[in-house]
Structures are given as structure tokens and as C-alpha cells.
């Protein structure tokens, strides 16, 4: 079973659909899970207690978790000086603490079996230091740092931990960003192309595949930087 | 209770590389004197989760309360066994 956070929208939803199409068992986490056509639970990833309850459910059901994809995330494209503190806090709580909590609490389910792959999400904004994305980039830089160190902690348990760092992918997260701004970001990638969620799903598939077992602690920049 | 304590000690012993170490009340689990490294300690927690599941309760080593007193909980074999038994009793 692959646990996917942010399963109701954007990249998370696309990942769930892809994994299901490949015949994999998916368990989705999202704030709103109504109408999701696969097993899911409504929860807030920034709540340690709610993730713990989820883990209890998975344990009771003897679920064999072999993968975790932390796709839940929010963004607020603002200059740091004009970002209200409650928004900064929310971005850090969901993007960084949410990823940390899910890793901390769900990884032991894989550690027991000494098998698994964890995929966290960063952003091209970290590598490029994009203007107007400082708080978002800070939260994702935290995810990258956490993932590198966590990969070392998990290596003894045969669990790989990697990050995918997409550029501007066409999802709700891009609302409010103009086509010009997107083109400017894409132009800084090695491969000058705006990718779709399908490309991200390809990488997720790769990182969940035992063939990528030699990769851990890496940040994969979609399009290259 | 002695049986449970023995089970906890046995699981600690099973994780030791040095089988000459005898597990007693004050066998340290943390620090330089411990025969377990941090990863083995995590393995031990998972083992104890399984043991708790067999007994019929949930051993919680991830709560804020457990974390905040983790140094005492993992201070030695005796303190860990005591915490395990306390959680078992609390679940009844």
C-alpha cells in the first residue's frame, strides 16, 4: 500500500490516479476526502495527533505500507514583507511539519518490514531562489534538509527517502501566477519546458520502483536546474 | 508483571551484538555506556509495539508526553519495562 498525502487535488490526486491505474493499492490523506474513489481518510497533515490516529487505523488493519508520498502542500506567492504571520505559520506547518510528522509516524510501519520508499516534495523555488516565494521556498528547503538527513536514518531499514522538486506544474497551486511569470521560471530550467502532473507521476513511479533502490537522499529537479 | 518485564528484557537482549551483556534493571539504553545504538533503540520500540499488539494494547513511544520524558523512559532497561507496563495497565 502506498500512502499519499494531498490526495484530493493537484499532483497528489494525479499520483493516486496513476498508482491505481498501475494496480497498486493507494490510501489517500486529504482534508476533504468526499468522492475519492479509493480508500482514504480525512486529516490535516500538520496535526501530529491526526496522523497518529491514521497510523493506528493502518496498524489495526494490518496494512502493509511500502511507500509514502508526501504531496500535501500549500503556497502563497507574496513578498516576505507582505506575508501575514499566520500565513507564514500555515505554510511552514503544512509543508514542513506535515512532511516531518508523516515521515516520523508512518515510516515505522515500513521500518518493521525493512522495505519502503518515501517521496517528499520540494520545489524549483529552492534552487532558484524565486522572488515572491521566500516563505514557500523556506518551507521546502526545510523539507530538502530533513529528507537528506532522514534518508541516512532510514538507510539501515532499507527505506529510501528522496525529494521531487518540480517547476511550475499546472495545478491549483499556480493560481495567481501569470503566464509570463511561469515562462520566466521555466526559462531558468535546463530543459525549457513546463511539465504536467504526468511527468511528476513518472518520477514517483520510478522512485517507488525497486529499480531505483540505489537512489536515496536525492533531490530530483524536474526539468533540471 | 515479571513475565512482561522479562519479555521486554528479552527483546533488548535479542538486539544486542554483544551477547555477553546481561540485561538487568539498570542496563543503560542511552548514552556512551549503552550497548544499543540509536537505530537499535528504534528497532526495540518497534519490537515493543509488536509485543503490545500481542498483549492487546498500543505501546506509544511517539506521543509528546512519551517524547518529553524519553530520556527517563529509555534511561535503562528497568525504566523502559516500567513505562511499558504502565501503558499496559493504563489501557485496561
| pLDDT tier at B31, thresholds 50, 70, 90 | confident
> Is-contact A124 A225, C-beta < 8 A?
yes
- Mind listing the pLDDT tens digit for each residue in A74-127? 998 899 999 999 999 999 999 999 999 999 999 999 998 899 999 999 999 999
Mutate to test the interface with B, among A53, A54, A156 (most CBs of B within 10 A): A156
CB-CB neighbors (< 8 A) of A56 in chain B: 58
**Which tens digit of pLDDT belongs to each residue from B44-82?**
999 999 899 999 999 988 776 666 655 678 889 999 999
Rg, Å, chain A Cα set: 17
Cell numbers standing for residue A12: 497528489
Q: Which tens digit of pLDDT belongs to each residue from A27-58?
A: 999 999 998 999 999 999 999 999 999 999 99
- The CATH T-level fold of domain B2-90 is 1.10.1200
Give the Cα-Cα-Cα angle A19, A24, A30 (nearest 5 degrees): 60
Dist CA A195 CA A197 (whole Å): 7
Share of chain A above pLDDT 70, in %: 100
Catalytic residue among A27, A101, A121, A136: A136
Domains, chain A, in order of start with CATH, read 2-221 (3.40.50.720)
SS3 call for B63: coil
The pLDDT value recorded for residue B68 is: 63
User: What is the pLDDT averaged over residues B6-11?
Assistant: 96
- A136 is annotated as an active-site residue: yes
The pLDDT assigned to B30 comes to: 83
Domains of chain B, residue spans: 2-90
ipTM metric = 0.74
* pLDDT of A200 over the 80 cut: yes
Amino acid at each position: 500500500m502506498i500512502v499519499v498525502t494531498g490526495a484530493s487535488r493537484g499532483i497528489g490526486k494525479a499520483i493516486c490516479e496513476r498508482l491505481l491505474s498501475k494496480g497498486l493499492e493507494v490510501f489517500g490523506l486529504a482534508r476533504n476526502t468526499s468522492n475519492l474513489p479509493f480508500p482514504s481518510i480525512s486529516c490535516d497533515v500538520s496535526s501530529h495527533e491526526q496522523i497518529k490516529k491514521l497510523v493506528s487505523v493502518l496498524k489495526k488493519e494490518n496494512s502493509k505500507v511500502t511507500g509514502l508520498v508526501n504531496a500535501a502542500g500549500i503556497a502563497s506567492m507574496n513578498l516576505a514583507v507582505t506575508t501575514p504571520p499566520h500565513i507564514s505559520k500555515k505554510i511552514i506547518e503544512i509543508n514542513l511539519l506535515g512532511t516531518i510528522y508523516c515521515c516520523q509516524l508512518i515510516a515505522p510501519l515500513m521500518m518493521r518490514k525493512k522495505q519502503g520508499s518515501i517521496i517528499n516534495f520540494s520545489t524549483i523555488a529552492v534552487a532558484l531562489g524565486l522572488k515572491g516565494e521566500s516563505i514557500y521556498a523556506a518551507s521546502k528547503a526545510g523539507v530538502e534538509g530533513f529528507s537528506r538527513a532522514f534518508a541516512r536514518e532510514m538507510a539501515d531499514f532499507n527505506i529510501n527517502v528522496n525529494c521531487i522538486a518540480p517547476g511550475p506544474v499546472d495545478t491549483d497551486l499556480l493560481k495567481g501566477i501569470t503566464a509570463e511569470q511561469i515562462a520566466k521560471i521555466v526559462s531558468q530550467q535546463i530543459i525549457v519546458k513546463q511539465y504536467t502532473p504526468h511527468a511528476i507521476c513518472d518520477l514517483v513511479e520510478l522512485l517507488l520502483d525497486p529499480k531505483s533502490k540505489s537512489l536515496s537522499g536525492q533531490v530530483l529537479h524536474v526539468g533540471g536546474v | 508483571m515479571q513475565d512482561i518485564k522479562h519479555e521486554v528484557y528479552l527483546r533488548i537482549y535479542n538486539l544486542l551484538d554483544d551477547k555477553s551483556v546481561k540485561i538487568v534493571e539498570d542496563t543503560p539504553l542511552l548514552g556512551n555506556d549503552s550497548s544499543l545504538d540509536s537505530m537499535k533503540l528504534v528497532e526495540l520500540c518497534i519490537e515493543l509495539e509488536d509485543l503490545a499488539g500481542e498483549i492487546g494494547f498500543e505501546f506509544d513511544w511517539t506521543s509528546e508526553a512519551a517524547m518529553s520524558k524519553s530520556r527517563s523512559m529509555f534511561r535503562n532497561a528497568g525504566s523502559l519495562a516500567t513505562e511499558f507496563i504502565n501503558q499496559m495497565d493504563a489501557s485496561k
